[in-house]
Amino acid sequence: MRRLAAVFVALAMMLAGHMPARAQSTAPPPNFIPPPSTRPIPPLGIYALGSIGCAAGAPILGTVILGRALTMSEAYHSTFGCLLGPPGWLIADWLMSLPGAEPPQPPQPPQPPRRVTSANHVTLPPRGALFVRNEILLEVDAGADARLTALARRLNLTRLETQDFTLTGRSLQRWRINGNRSVVATLNAIGNAGVAAAAQANYFYGLPQQAAAATNSGTQYVVPKLHLTEAHRITTGTDVIVAVIDSKIDAKHSDLAGVIAGENDVVGTAAPAHMHGTAMAGAIAAHSKLIGVAPKVRLLAVRAFSGTSEGAQGTTFNILKGLDWAASRDARIVNMSFAGPTDPMLRDMIARAHAHGMVLIAAVGNAGPRSPPLYPAAYPEVIGVTATDADDKLLPVANRGAYVAVAAPGVDILADAPEEKYQITTGTSVATAHVTGVVALMLAREPTLTPDQVRRRLIASARPVPGARRDAGAGVIDALRAIEAR
């Protein structure tokens, strides 16, 4: 705009040079009244005054008409067009080509996950998310069955199963995509057809735990670290129902004898007991060779993950089924030692479970300090847990962020393994199980606590550790302090 002002000054000086100068005269005598001027304004003056008025008013008029501020290019073109006509547009183009003519643009905010909506809610997977490459999940609009059948035929889709969920009151369908059409293309087609109340990918979730080493000996530093001996003199978590949504748990392990109150295999395929699920259950409720945090709880073993010890995965649909089943069995606490992408259908289920009075606890993940938030730990209804070692130092590969609520021992943990074996394991998964056990002790002593009250007391009773709050949350949990907190 400084260039524009300079041009106006130059034009004014040019016009001043063409106007007739006043003659020099001596001072008029007192009481002299000059006659009214009758000199006509020359054509050049009329042109100059009209051009300047047009140049001054055009940007204002353009702003009013467009309902927004003009860009620099639009202001230049309107101004110089008024002053010089078509040649003025050429001058405007030349001015816009100079360096720094356009002001710098402010940084744009991060874009939300790609979403396609018509009269429904169809969510495309965020970049980098892992999902089943030939499946989608649908909630069908009322009265849209006929249209969905026709669309499924055209898109070459096969319905695999339908599940009614009590917690959300929703009926979801899992469909297989036959052929080469991608999940994104299929979801876009469904969104354009307007047949689904909700549609998304069937996401993968992983178990954030480092490969375990087999062992037959070792010590449990968790016991003195969490003051379990003192806490167990007050409560052992008797009869608190805890759901563990994980891989297959070895219910026959001597450390878990008598604590498994129910099992539900939502995967539905035969598989042996798994290292991860067995370790999580033992960290919570072991009561033979090892000492669990809450050895008298009643565990609901939900198998929603399958695969090898290093590569076990669970899907959105199976986790939803497991969570809904746990709610139907009156689970007070849900241990979710897994992590994955943001997921609208799971997010809805999490919110309903929290409102139902269930305390939800999840691992923040082992993807490293630069990782974006992982879920379900990053949902506000969930207590996100990170891992520390025997010296209260943070696990280096643990995720960071404001969603980290507390830390718990999760490095070199002696844990149960299938077939009466034991293992040394590390990760935010087993740290999560330790927090679940502490919450069970709290609820056994005070069953009326709400999920939000549990969170507040857990945070208030944690021992602060060096480092940023986003690294270890409020600090390392302490079972004795937590059950005595008020």
Compute the average pLDDT of residues 159-181.
96
pLDDT digits (tens, 9 = 90+) for 95-119: 544 444 444 433 333 334 444 443 4
- Average pLDDT estimate for 292-318: 93
Continuous H helices in 295-363 = 316-328, 344-355
Share of the chain above pLDDT 90, in %: 69
What pLDDT sits at residue 209? 85
- The helix (H) or strand (E) run that includes residue 265 is strand 260-265
Residues 105 and 96: their CA atoms lie apart, in Å, by: 15
pLDDT for the residue numbered 213: 67
Question: Phi, psi (5° rounding) for residue 89?
Answer: -65, -35
Instruction: Please report the pLDDT score of residue 99 as a whole number.
Output: 42
Report residue 405 as tokens: 């609520």
On the 0-12 / 13-18 / 19+ scale of CB atoms within 10 A, 60 is exposed
Which residue reads 């539905």 in tokens? 268
Q: How confident is the model at residue 62 (pLDDT cuts 50, 70, 90)?
A: low
- Asked if residue 122 has pLDDT above 70, the reply is yes
Mean pLDDT, residues 163-173? 96
pLDDT tier at 311, thresholds 50, 70, 90: confident
Q: Which residues are catalytic?
A: 246, 276, 429
Contacts of 288 (CB under 8 A, 6+ apart): 254, 255, 257
At 87 the pLDDT is 67
- Amino acid occupying residue 185: A
- What pLDDT does 486 receive? 85
Residue 178 is classified by DSSP as: -
Give the lowest-confidence range in 61-70, 175-184, 317-326: 61-70
The DSSP symbol for 256 reads G
Q: 114: which 2 tokens?
A: 């790609």
Output the 3-class SS for 232-255: HCCCCCCCCEEEEEECCCCCCCHH
Lowest mean pLDDT across 63-77, 117-131, 235-249: 63-77
- The dihedral through the CA atoms of 380, 386, 391, 393 has a sign that is negative
DSSP letter for each residue of 61-81 = HHHHHHTSPPPHHHHHHHHHH
| Cα–Cα distance measured from residue 60 to residue 83, given in angstroms and rounded to the nearest whole number | 16
pLDDT interval class at 308 (50, 70, 90): confident
**Hey, which residues does 408 pair with through a beta bridge?**
387
Average the pLDDT over each of 210-214, 291-295, 335-339, 377-381 and give the range with the smallest value: 210-214
Res 51: pLDDT: 65
178 touches 156 (CB < 8 A):
yes
Beta strand 382-388 with 404-409: parallel, antiparallel or unpaired? Answer: parallel
On whether the CB atoms of residues 216 and 421 are closer than 8 A, the answer is: yes
Backbone angles phi, psi at 416, to 5 degrees: -75, 155
The closest alpha carbon to 406, from 352, 452, 363, belongs to 363
Q: Which domains does the chain have, with CATH numbers?
A: 1-9+43-99 (no CATH), 115-203 (3.30.70.80), 207-484 (3.40.50.200)
Per-residue pLDDT at 48: 64
Which pLDDT score is estimated for 9? 43
Mean pLDDT score of the chain, rounded to an integer? 85
For the cut 90, the answer to whether the pLDDT of residue 228 exceeds it is yes
The C-alpha atoms of residue 295 and residue 309 are separated, in whole angstroms, by: 25
Predicted local distance difference test score (pLDDT) of residue 169: 94
The predicted pLDDT at position 110 comes to 38
pLDDT of residue 44: 65
For residues 200 and 343, the answer to whether their CB atoms sit within 8 Å is: yes
pLDDT more than 70, % of the chain: 74
pLDDT band at 121 (very low <50, low <70, confident <90, very high): confident
Residue 65 confidence (pLDDT): 54
Going by pLDDT thresholds of 50, 70 and 90, the confidence category of residue 50 is: low
pLDDT higher than threshold 50 for residue 223: yes
State the pLDDT at residue 29: 52
**8 or 82, which is more confident?**
82
- Residues 417, 215: Cα–Cα separation, whole Å: 9
SS3 category, 384: strand
Residues 351-367: tens digit of each pLDDT: 999 999 999 999 999 99
Read off the pLDDT of each residue in 332-346 and give the average, rounded to a whole number.
98
Give the residue-averaged pLDDT of 428-450: 98
